[in-house]
Structure 1
Amino acid sequence: MHDRPAGMIGRRTFLGAASACAALAALRPSPLRAADPAQYDHPWIPSEAFLAGLPEWMRAFGVPGLGIAVVEDGEVAWHRAFGVADTASGAAVDADSVFECASLSKPVFAYVALKLVDTGVLQLDRTLAHYHRPDYLAKDDPRLDRITVRDVLRHSSGLPNWREHPDREPLRTLAEPGKGVNYSGEAFYWLQLVAEQATGESLDQLARRHLFEPAGMRASTYTWSAHAARHSVIGEPAPGTTPTVQTFHRQWSLLQPIAEARGKPLREWTWNDGVRALPQAQAAAPAGMFVWPGDLLANSAASLRGPVQDYARFIAHVMARPTRQCWEIGEATRQAMLTPQMPLREGWLDKGLGWNLERIDANTRWFFHGGANAGRYKTFIVGDPGRRRGLVVMTNGGGGTGVYQRVVRAATGRDLLAFDL
């Protein structure tokens, strides 16, 4: 869980049934690799012909359910559901279905963190240690004291993605902060604790106040809710894989009665609540499910869940708008999110603030991000800020990468370089 190496199936799983792939080859969209803007300046709503064949791709990759949403001209223009939310019950995916967004959680938290920068609560180039130094940090690593808020958002903290044993392994750097890209969920989690310490609010409270409520993302949550309990899709592993059985869905279901007994909703829990509740949670759960307080809390790097159209509403607020409302991040801050901050592949791919950026032509960069949780949920989003359009794809299948790539190709007319890395 939480994109940890021990709990995730990180490698792509290819379908072994060559005959099935051959039968579907005719449905493969033709990617456009040319840089002529006219070739991809069209709405991103997939064609009915492609959508008619999409269930075959879902079956080929073992993906039970799928949600797609499209932003056009800065507004949610279209969304569609396919397949089943739960293979056991046969319940269909619908407009209310709540998906695990996985690492798509990170850009949303980046937006909230940048709002705190805009309001002066945080400073982009101030160190995390200036605000808060969790006791799980290594005592003998001076590089930890050089990690800034900007480093977290552009993945240049030098920290690992996740520790394999957070209950007994101090967090330490792998590289010098600010010098290169080290994709890190740990860095986002530390910044989450900084935001909690600076505001006195939990992650979900911050997200709800600064984004979910004003943007109309009312079914989104970093924790759990009655709506999420009723409408969450249940993920399935990719064919031929045996991923971890540990999922957010199972964890939140066990934690809910503990929260009710303590009289404090999970959405309001902060680090100290996790510390106090850990022994009780461990007693109620299978061994190894809750090993440190972070397992009990909302996670800015991985635990967001919501309908695809909610995430599309967020994407709409990453676009330029004729008038920005007072609750939104400022225009200069919005542009900074989508400005190269750290190269991934010089001249082609960069890290922005919370986003990956891919060069489309000399004057155009698209932003994108993918997600994977528990070997059962795969998600992807891509946006063209110049044309104020975006595409969100969420699945409840560990084989979802092969499906969302085909959706992106069919909708945008491009084959992203990021898919080959």
Structure 2
Amino acid sequence: MNRRRFLASAAALGGLGLAPFVAMGGTCANELGPWIPSDQFLAELPRIMQAFAVPGVGIAVVEDGEVVWNRGFGVTNALTRAPVDARTIFEDASLSKPVFAYLVMQLVDQGVMELDRPLVEYRRLDYLADHPWIELITARDVLRHSTGLPNWRKSPATEKLVPMVRPGTRIDYSGEAIFWLQLVVEKITGQSLDESMQAHLFGPAGMQDSSYTWNAGLATRSVYGHRAHDKPGMGMPPQMFREQWSIAQQVADRSGKPLSSWKYDDAVRALPEVMALAPPGLVAWPGDILANAAASLRTTVQDYAAFLTLMMARKQRASWEVTEATRLAMLTPQIKVPGRWTEKGLGWNMEQTRDGSVFYHSGSNGDIFKNFAVGDAQRRRGIVVLTNGGSGSFVHQRVVRAATGYDLLSYDL
């Protein structure tokens, strides 16, 4: 249903005394119109962005299983004032995780990986602790965040990775676990993360502006992150991935092997040379200069919305996509933990609304990038909001609430 028809319907409801209900985001608003933010809200969006010091925002919407609308607002860099446009690349932060989960499930469908086989049987890394719980961790544990591993070690160059609890007993959000699974996938496929993603997902899905790594073209089109509105400072804040990879790029250029082809062993070999070029504290271990399945995905907002379409219900799926059973498994609760108001699927979180379950994920890198994506698989709709500000969550909450009518508990994560 297009916006003209939606507004006409809303006006008719107003004549019936139902307009206040629609305005509050009641079920009528949800059923009548697409998840495209209204013109009235979009007119207010620049004021909201200014209030929270968020220079740039990208929004894309999926309806009936297709990307139907996208728009950029503001600038990529508060100093240069380059506008956000259709080619702007955002740093997706933890929205990287569901995309990587899709690759893992493709490999499971192909029979080259098993969800419940211990990861140590595929690849035992030298930084893993000698601990019996390490032996129990599986890909299922990683994708539902039940490994017991920490999010990130404070001193990865010297600290062993050890579970805090027995795997499968509670939820512990862990980027470390995702990174370990990434290295398992690397061992299985013989490819770097980006090579695998391009071959299995980005290429077939037409996500031409997506990468987990770095190059000069991505650098030119990528947004810069900005401080939160309540954390003032002079100049641009540190741009972690940009700074680390800009130095790694110099080493890659000398070696003749692009960063997109680097595997873990390449990063190990390059580490001393990179550390010699980097300022103290910027680079500490190989993971700092390697594509990171948990956090380093960059896409246009349209590309991420194209990924959301793969999670929608439909009768037929392409041969390269996950099977329908696998898609359903990704959106099915995988672990029961008393007292939780959200569920963990495989790569996605789920929350119940008045209309049923929605899947979602948020993203935050370095307190300078904040993102959110949510979808309703059965109604074949979704929305993704990418920002380049540390207070971007205050913006994406308002965008998603205005578009969907849902006041999700997950906004406050």
TM-score, length basis structure 2: 0.91
TM-fit CA distance, 1:417? 1.5
Q: 1:118 aligns with which of 109, 131, 156?
A: 109
Q: Partners of 2:75 and 2:239 in 1: how far apart? A: 21
Judging changes above 3 Å, is the alpha-carbon distance between structure 1 residues 88 and 368 closer, same or farther for their aligned structure 2 residues? same
Q: Partners of 1:242 and 1:256 in 2: how far apart? A: 31
Query: How do residues 274-285 of structure 1 correspond to structure 2 at under 5 angstroms?
Result: 274-285=267-278
8 Å Cα contact 2:23-2:29 kept in structure 1: no
- Bigger mean CA deviation after superposition, 97-106 or 252-261: 252-261
Q: 1:378 aligns with which of 367, 370, 374?
A: 370
8 Å Cα contact 1:70-1:392 kept in structure 2: yes
Partner of 1:387: 379
Q: Which amino acid aligns with 2:175?
A: G
Q: 2:308 aligns with which of 284, 292, 315?
A: 315
TM-fit CA distance, 1:330? 0.7
Q: Partners of 2:327 and 2:262 in 1: how far apart? A: 29
TM-fit CA distance, 1:246? 4.5
Query: How do residues 127-138 of structure 1 correspond to structure 2 at under 5 angstroms?
Result: 127-138=118-129
TM-fit CA distance, 1:87? 1.4
Partner of 1:163: 153
Partner of 1:204: 194
Q: Which amino acid aligns with 1:129?
A: V
Judging changes above 3 Å, is the alpha-carbon distance between structure 1 residues 97 and 277 closer, same or farther for their aligned structure 2 residues? same
8 Å Cα contact 1:31-1:409 kept in structure 2: no
TM-fit CA distance, 1:149? 0.6
Q: Which amino acid aligns with 2:158?
A: R
SS of match in other structure, 2:60 = strand
8 Å Cα contact 1:343-1:349 kept in structure 2: no
SS of match in other structure, 1:112 = helix
Q: Which amino acid aligns with 1:75?
A: E
Number of equivalenced pairs? 388
Q: Which amino acid aligns with 1:365?
A: S
SS of match in other structure, 1:69 = strand
**Alpha-carbon displacement from aligned partner over 1:231-289 (angstroms, at most 9, x marks no partner):** 10111111232796241112221111210111111011011001000000001111111
Judging changes above 3 Å, is the alpha-carbon distance between structure 1 residues 279 and 201 closer, same or farther for their aligned structure 2 residues? same
TM-fit CA distance, 1:347? 7.4
C-alpha RMSD of the superposition: 1.6
Could you list the runs of 5+ residues in structure 2 that have no partner in the other structure? 1-21
8 Å Cα contact 2:225-2:239 kept in structure 1: no
**Alpha-carbon displacement from aligned partner over 1:129-182 (angstroms, at most 9, x marks no partner):** 11111000112x110110011000000011000001000110000111011110
Q: Partners of 1:93 and 1:329 in 2: how far apart? A: 33
**Alpha-carbon displacement from aligned partner over 1:316-339 (angstroms, at most 9, x marks no partner):** 111123321111111100000001
Judging changes above 3 Å, is the alpha-carbon distance between structure 1 residues 276 and 137 closer, same or farther for their aligned structure 2 residues? same
8 Å Cα contact 1:70-1:312 kept in structure 2: yes
**Larger RCO, structures 1/2 (Cα 8 Å, 6+ apart):** 1
Q: Which amino acid aligns with 2:393?
A: T
SS of match in other structure, 1:391 = strand
Partner of 1:40: 30
Q: Which amino acid aligns with 2:157?
A: D
The answer to whether 1:91 aligns with 2:82 is yes
Q: Partners of 1:417 and 1:345 in 2: how far apart? A: 17
Q: Partners of 1:218 and 1:151 in 2: how far apart? A: 31
Judging changes above 3 Å, is the alpha-carbon distance between structure 1 residues 99 and 346 closer, same or farther for their aligned structure 2 residues? same
Judging changes above 3 Å, is the alpha-carbon distance between structure 1 residues 408 and 136 closer, same or farther for their aligned structure 2 residues? same
TM-score, length basis structure 1: 0.89
8 Å Cα contact 1:219-1:227 kept in structure 2: no
Judging changes above 3 Å, is the alpha-carbon distance between structure 1 residues 306 and 137 closer, same or farther for their aligned structure 2 residues? same
Q: Partners of 1:232 and 1:347 in 2: how far apart? A: 36
The answer to whether 1:100 aligns with 2:91 is yes
SS of match in other structure, 2:228 = coil
The answer to whether 1:368 aligns with 2:366 is no
Q: Partners of 1:400 and 1:229 in 2: how far apart? A: 21
SS of match in other structure, 1:371 = strand
Q: Partners of 2:276 and 2:54 in 1: how far apart? A: 34
Q: 2:41 aligns with which of 50, 55, 77?
A: 50
8 Å Cα contact 2:128-2:161 kept in structure 1: yes
8 Å Cα contact 2:224-2:239 kept in structure 1: no
Partner of 1:181: 171
**Alpha-carbon displacement from aligned partner over 1:288-343 (angstroms, at most 9, x marks no partner):** 11100111100000000010000000001111233211111111000000011124
8 Å Cα contact 2:49-2:395 kept in structure 1: yes
The answer to whether 1:403 aligns with 2:391 is no
Partner of 1:20: none
Partner of 1:357: 350
Partner of 1:68: 59
Q: Partners of 2:119 and 2:187 in 1: how far apart? A: 11
Q: Which amino acid aligns with 1:109?
A: F
Q: Partners of 2:171 and 2:52 in 1: how far apart? A: 31
Q: Partners of 1:344 and 1:30 in 2: how far apart? A: 35
Q: Which amino acid aligns with 1:309?
A: Q
8 Å Cα contact 1:347-1:359 kept in structure 2: no
Q: Partners of 1:399 and 1:420 in 2: how far apart? A: 12
TM-fit CA distance, 1:374? 1.1
The answer to whether 1:267 aligns with 2:257 is no
8 Å Cα contact 1:31-1:414 kept in structure 2: no
Q: Partners of 2:51 and 2:361 in 1: how far apart? A: 24
Q: Partners of 1:347 and 1:196 in 2: how far apart? A: 33
Judging changes above 3 Å, is the alpha-carbon distance between structure 1 residues 31 and 293 closer, same or farther for their aligned structure 2 residues? farther
8 Å Cα contact 2:65-2:381 kept in structure 1: yes
